Chains A and B, each alone.
Chain A
Amino acid sequence: MSREAEITELGGGAHRITMPLPWALDHVHCYALEAPEGWTIIDAGLGTPGTVRRWGEVLEQLGNPKIHRLVVTHYHPDHIGCGGLLADLVEPVEVVQGRLDAALSKNAWVDMDIEGVYDHMFGNGMSTEMAREAADDEGGSPVTIPEPTHLVDEGDLIRIADEDFRVLHLPGHADGHIALLGETTGRMFGGDVILATISPNVGRWEDTDFDPLGRYFTTLERLAELSPAIVYGGHRAPVEDVAGRAREIRAMHDERLLIALGALQNGASSAMEVAAVIWPEWARHARAPLRSGRGPLARGTPGS
């Protein structure tokens, strides 16, 4: 995409603001919703000086509206990263965040435990060198979190202009992930709970509870039942056939579970070894240095 922000009019007083990312996934969508009392911004983008400069330009193009509220869907760097800088720029009346997500944010970005990241990566099969690089990479994430002033829980209502939005707690991609579902229009601002053409990463990070995929399956079932009219997500195109997309993602994970099970049946014993079977492309350059490390890929005694 362009290295500048792009504004897309969605109708119904909603604007999609697309910010570039310096990754293979090269963009993130944030949203601005008009309201007489002041606009609501949903998600902030990555916390780089370029992002906050782009926010200044975007808001100028939108007429420099008063910003009443900043909502954070979840604490991943591309969504919350610019939150602190953006809050300084627009001085919202309130910063809304899920209660659990706020705690995870503080834990991840204020009280960051780099050694905990290293231990998680090393303990699950990365070589010393790779785990150290991963931990340093995590520690260098450009994130300045905003101070939440309004912690929300499942079922809370947030009124934006003349529509109530219901807060949904939809874990899986992140344990504290929230989404906003419009009670009148059925539109959902979903962060990364469901995406078109790509599957949200469901990762068991060092601060994630056991079995995030189980929680994500429940989220997919819930999304299919709720069947929002449209989900405006954090990446790619909006999702209109939510139940259909949920089924596709579930099927992909079911297939991947079979591959993971096959890997275990063939002697893999660590997450790293299983990853190398699921993603052989990735494995081609990951295996060699790993096997020369402390031996996490050696066929050790399986777990109890």
Chain B
Amino acid sequence: MHERRFALVEALSHVERLVADGRATMSPDGRRFAAA
């Protein structure tokens, strides 16, 4: 479980970076993503 939690939060940091640099979009609740 330790590794799964870390994988999830690390993946989330990557998709948020994609949102921040304009390569992805994010739903208003911040939990669904799509390529821009």
Contact = CB atoms under 8 A, between A and B. Distances in A.
Contacts of B3: 24, 282
A72 B28 CA distance: 36
B13 A257 contact: no
Given A133-B1, A260-B11, A302-B25, A265 B16 contact: no
Interface in B1-36: 1-21, 23-35
Contact of A130 (B1, B15, B23): B1
A270 B16 contact: no
Given A125-B8, A271-B8, A282-B3, A212 B33 contact: no
* Range class of the A interface residue count: 35 or more
Contact of B14 (A125, A126, A272, A274): A274
B11 A302 contact: no
Interface of B: 1-21, 23-35
Interface of A: 23-24, 121, 123-126, 130, 133-134, 137-138, 201-205, 208, 210-214, 253, 256-257, 260-261, 264-265, 268-272, 274-275, 278-279, 282, 286, 300-304
29 contacts: A121-B5, A123-B31, A126-B8, A202-B10, A203-B6, A203-B13, A204-B12, A211-B13, A211-B16, A211-B20, A214-B17, A260-B11, A260-B18, A261-B18, A261-B35, A264-B24, A269-B32, A271-B9, A271-B15, A271-B31, A274-B33, A278-B10, A286-B7, A300-B32, A303-B25, A303-B27, A303-B32, A304-B27, A304-B28
